[in-house]
């Protein structure tokens, strides 16, 4: 009956529109209608007072009377001297959570009656949490999420109106937060902390929350100390994320650090670690690094999750854990114990970030990661590019060299390349690599005695003997190691390749001992050694002819090449022997001998040697053309073709120069 009476609207008198007066009968008939119209507002007030007693079926009917009328009724009840009326007004605001009632609720926070203040405190918190109901429950915590999810008896209104009314609620919360000393209620402070950084706020709402944020910096304001206390002690995970955002604000940074180090659940760790990119700002990083001084305290231990909690973290949070551990300056043992499970994390991104920030001890494990990106990144950090490598005789240098040698067999091409470069940087016996040559040269200049000891140690080891000889030749210090080289040549257990390289090195030493050893090398049982001796030793062409019929193709090729290049035309017999030997090499049925013949032709068949080759010129060219066209060996065809092209280019160049010279004379 009250709802029906409150819903009555004055009927417009048709006669008034015509300008005629009502008669006595008509006036008597309208008395009930006029009475209901006069008492409709009183009926709505009565409904508002009885709001706690209305059933769930009646409340939607009552609220349909109109939002503006209910706002006016609640405002009238809030000013009533009766305590129950004010409690009824707060009850309506609590059940409807209408933002338009925010100012009324904030006003009742200062009520003299304890029950009214307590009800207003709870209602304001519910209205604020209603604005955060779109957030996941884990961000608000169990208690506050339950409050935010309570169904509401909403007053009928357009969404645009509610959006404007939210500004009224935020303004009222801001005023109440600044006036904490007048009411001593916590809900305005909690609401302000939760709402001032709301991500979906409209531009108008952001302007209002700017006033809330100023309270964070007002250290001397009476509301600031309770605000810090609320930030530290309120059990809401979202406030821990807010604390990370507010670390740069010096007035509240201590309270924010306390809140970050006070964690009750893995969800709070998840929230902060997922936002770890915020800690990249130097102001936040400086605050977090201060925790290193409290490493042994419970306060510092609460910032990061325990090792047993890593399994419940998401991928982004595990990445954030790596960054946060590096920022706060954990000691190496603690950091390794925390991050050790991440070495075998299933996520490639997590392992990549871990390889970027882990200690040098763990970094070596990432070199064997199955993902090429992780392995390459770890190798780039592990390499000594840009810094001085360890000493050659140090255990660290030896261990690093062994690991490099192992990684040269990695399945990842990029890692093999980096390992090869690093190995060259750690050694002085890789003459093919410029970095190794540079280090050897620097050691020779800075400490010749140490260089000599290091090279002699390598000459005494079969595995490194050949590389050491190559480095000696590259640096041109054969004279310094003459006796060592002689020992290599005469050593029965030395590798054949090393003995041949030692022969080539001794050829640059002008001494009786070296010449004697080289003369013996001409009859050595090893073909490679004989070939190098024939190529390097100063020998009479007449004696050199003896080696043109050697069984090994390299010895024959070196002898023929030296005969063609060394003879100055004084001996026709030697020239004829050289030509015949080259033709025989090119026509030999053995592929390696024909290949050696093309090698000789590449280095001797040139326009300036045409007179020296004399009658053998044309047969040699014919043999090369035949090899380039019909030989079955691809290497032979390719080398013969290059030789012919080179010779053709020389002939064309010479003929072009002759024509230009003739034109100039003409």
Q: Which range among 370-374, 426-430, 643-647 shows the weakest confidence by mean pLDDT?
A: 643-647
Percent of the chain surpassing pLDDT 70: 87
* Three-state DSSP state, 535: helix
Count the Cβ atoms, other than its own, within 10 Å of residue 527: 16
- CB burial of 577-608 (b: ≥16 within 10 Å; e: otherwise) equals bbbebbbbbbebeeeebbbbbbbbbbebbeee
pLDDT of residue 608: 57
CA 282 from centroid of its chain's CA atoms: 19
Distance of alpha carbon 126 from alpha carbon 111, whole angstroms: 19
What does the pLDDT average to over 216-234? Answer: 92
Count the Cβ atoms, other than its own, within 10 Å of residue 566: 14
- Residue 388 pLDDT level (bands cut at 50, 70, 90): confident
Provide DSSP, 603-614. HH-SGGGHHHHG
Distance of alpha carbon 642 from alpha carbon 292, whole angstroms: 69
Q: Which range among 107-111, 351-355, 510-514, 597-601 shows the weakest confidence by mean pLDDT?
A: 597-601
Distance of alpha carbon 599 from alpha carbon 499, whole angstroms: 23
The tens digit of pLDDT for each residue in 599-656 reads: 877 777 765 555 556 566 677 778 778 888 888 888 888 888 888 887 787 777 766 6
Percent of the chain surpassing pLDDT 90: 29
State the average pLDDT for the chain. Answer: 83
Distance of alpha carbon 348 from alpha carbon 415, whole angstroms: 17
- Residue 17 pLDDT level (bands cut at 50, 70, 90): very low
Ranked by mean pLDDT, which of 19-28, 242-251, 262-271, 339-348 comes out on top? 242-251
Structure tokens at 149: 């999810």
Whose tokens are 């609220």? That residue is 63
Q: Identify the CATH number of the domain defined by range 550-661.
A: 1.25.40
Q: Residue 496 pLDDT > 90, yes or no?
A: no
* Three-state DSSP state, 22: coil
What does the pLDDT average to over 173-191? Answer: 93
What does the pLDDT average to over 474-496? Answer: 89
Give the CB-side neighbour count of residue 119, counting CA atoms within 13 A: 22
- CB burial of 178-214 (b: ≥16 within 10 Å; e: otherwise) equals bbbeebebbbbbbbbbbbbbbeebeeebeebbebbee
Q: Residue 551 pLDDT > 80, yes or no?
A: no
Identify whether the C-beta of residue 338 lies closer than 8 Å to the C-beta of residue 330.
yes
pLDDT of residue 522: 83
Provide DSSP, 537-603. S---HHHHGGGGG-SSHHHHHHHHHHHHHH--SS-HHHHHHHHHHHHHHHT-SSHHHHHHHHHHHHH
Identify whether the C-beta of residue 165 lies closer than 8 Å to the C-beta of residue 100.
yes
- Residue 31 pLDDT level (bands cut at 50, 70, 90): low
Identify whether the C-beta of residue 588 lies closer than 8 Å to the C-beta of residue 599.
no
What does the pLDDT average to over 565-587? Answer: 70
pLDDT of residue 114: 93
What does the pLDDT average to over 517-536? Answer: 84
Structure tokens at 5: 């009476």
pLDDT of residue 541: 67
pLDDT of residue 39: 74
pLDDT of residue 16: 39
Distance of alpha carbon 257 from alpha carbon 243, whole angstroms: 7
Q: What angle do CA 539, 521, 506 make, to 5 degrees?
A: 75
Supply the pTM of this predicted model: 0.65
Q: Residue 286 pLDDT > 60, yes or no?
A: yes
Q: Residue 518 pLDDT > 70, yes or no?
A: yes
Q: Which range among 146-150, 175-179, 324-328, 527-531 shows the weakest confidence by mean pLDDT?
A: 324-328
Distance of alpha carbon 599 from alpha carbon 592, whole angstroms: 10
Higher pLDDT, 545 or 431: 431
The tens digit of pLDDT for each residue in 76-132 reads: 999 999 999 999 999 999 999 999 999 999 999 999 999 999 999 999 999 999 988
Structure tokens at 373: 């990106």
pLDDT of residue 10: 41
Q: Is 415 exposed, middle or buried (0-12, 13-18, 19+ CB in 10 A)?
A: buried
- Residue 570 pLDDT level (bands cut at 50, 70, 90): low
What does the pLDDT average to over 60-76? Answer: 88
Q: Residue 141 pLDDT > 80, yes or no?
A: yes
- Residue 12 pLDDT level (bands cut at 50, 70, 90): very low
């Amino acid at each position: 009956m009250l709802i029906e009476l409150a819903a009555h609207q004055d009927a417009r008198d048709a006669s008034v529109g015509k300008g005629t007066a009502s008669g006595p009968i008509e006036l008597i008939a309208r008395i009930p209608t006029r009475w209901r119209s006069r008492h409709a507002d009183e009926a709505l007030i009565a409904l508002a007072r009885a709001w706690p007693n209305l059933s769930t079926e009646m409340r939607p009917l009552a609220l349909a009377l109109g939002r503006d009328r209910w706002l006016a009724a609640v405002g009238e009840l809030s000013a009533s001297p009766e305590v129950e009326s004010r409690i009824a007004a707060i009850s309506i605001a609590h059940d409807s959570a209408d933002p338009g009632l925010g100012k009324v609720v904030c006003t009742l926070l200062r009520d003299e009656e304890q029950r009214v203040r307590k009800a207003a405190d709870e209602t304001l918190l519910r209205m604020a949490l209603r604005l955060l109901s779109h957030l996941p429950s884990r961000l608000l915590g169990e208690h506050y999420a339950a409050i935010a999810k309570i169904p509401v008896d909403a007053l009928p209104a357009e969404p645009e109106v509610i959006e404007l009314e939210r500004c009224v609620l935020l303004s009222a919360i801001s005023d109440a937060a600044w006036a904490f000393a007048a009411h001593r209620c916590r809900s305005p402070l909690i609401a302000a902390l939760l709402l001032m950084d709301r991500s979906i706020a409209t531009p108008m709402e952001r302007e209002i929350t700017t006033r809330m944020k100023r309270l964070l910096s007002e250290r001397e304001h009476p509301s600031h100390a309770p605000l810090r206390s609320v930030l530290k002690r309120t059990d809401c995970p979202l406030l821990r994320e807010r604390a990370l955002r507010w670390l740069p604000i010096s007035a509240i940074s201590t309270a924010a650090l306390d809140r970050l180090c006070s964690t009750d659940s893995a969800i709070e760790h998840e929230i902060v670690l997922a936002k770890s990119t915020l800690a990249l700002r130097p102001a936040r990083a400086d605050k977090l690094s201060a925790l290193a001084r409290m490493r042994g305290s419970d306060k510092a231990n609460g910032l990061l999750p325990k090792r047993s909690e890593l399994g419940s973290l998401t991928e982004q949070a595990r990445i954030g854990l790596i960054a946060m551990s590096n920022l706060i300056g954990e000691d190496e043992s603690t950091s390794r114990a925390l991050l050790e499970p991440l070495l075998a994390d299933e996520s490639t991104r997590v392992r990549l970030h871990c390889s970027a920030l882990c200690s040098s001890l763990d970094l070596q494990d990432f070199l064997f990661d199955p993902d090429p990106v992780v392995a390459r990144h770890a190798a780039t950090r592990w390499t000594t590019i840009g810094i001085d490598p360890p000493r050659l005789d140090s255990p660290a240098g030896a261990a690093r060299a062994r690991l490099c040698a192992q990684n040269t067999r990695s399945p990842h091409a990029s890692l093999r390349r980096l390992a090869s470069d690093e190995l060259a940087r750690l050694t002085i016996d890789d003459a093919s690599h410029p970095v190794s040559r540079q280090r050897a040269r620097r050691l020779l200049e800075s400490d010749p005695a140490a260089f000599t000891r290091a090279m002699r140690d390598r000459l005494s080891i079969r595995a490194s003997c050949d590389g050491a000889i190559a480095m000696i030749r590259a640096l041109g210090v054969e004279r310094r190691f003459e006796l060592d080289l002689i020992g290599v040549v005469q050593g029965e257990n030395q590798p054949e390749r090393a003995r041949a390289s030692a022969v080539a090195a001794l050829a640059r030493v002008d001494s009786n001992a070296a010449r004697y050893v080289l003369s013996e090398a001409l009859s050595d049982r090893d073909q490679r050694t004989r070939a190098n001796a024939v190529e390097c030793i100063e020998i009479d062409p007449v004696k050199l002819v003896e080696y043109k019929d050697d069984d090994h193709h390299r010895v024959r090729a070196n002898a023929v090449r030296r005969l063609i290049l060394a003879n100055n035309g004084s001996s026709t017999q030697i020239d004829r022997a050289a030509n015949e030997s080259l033709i025989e090499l090119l026509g030999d049925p053995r592929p390696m001998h024909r290949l050696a013949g093309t090698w000789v032709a590449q280095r001797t068949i040139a326009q300036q040697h045409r007179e020296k080759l004399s009658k053998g010129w044309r047969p040699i060219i014919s043999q090369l053309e035949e090899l380039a066209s019909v030989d079955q060996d691809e290497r032979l065809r390719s080398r013969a073709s290059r030789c012919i092209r080179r010779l053709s280019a020389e002939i064309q160049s010479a003929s072009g120069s002759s024509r230009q010279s003739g034109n100039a004379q003409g």
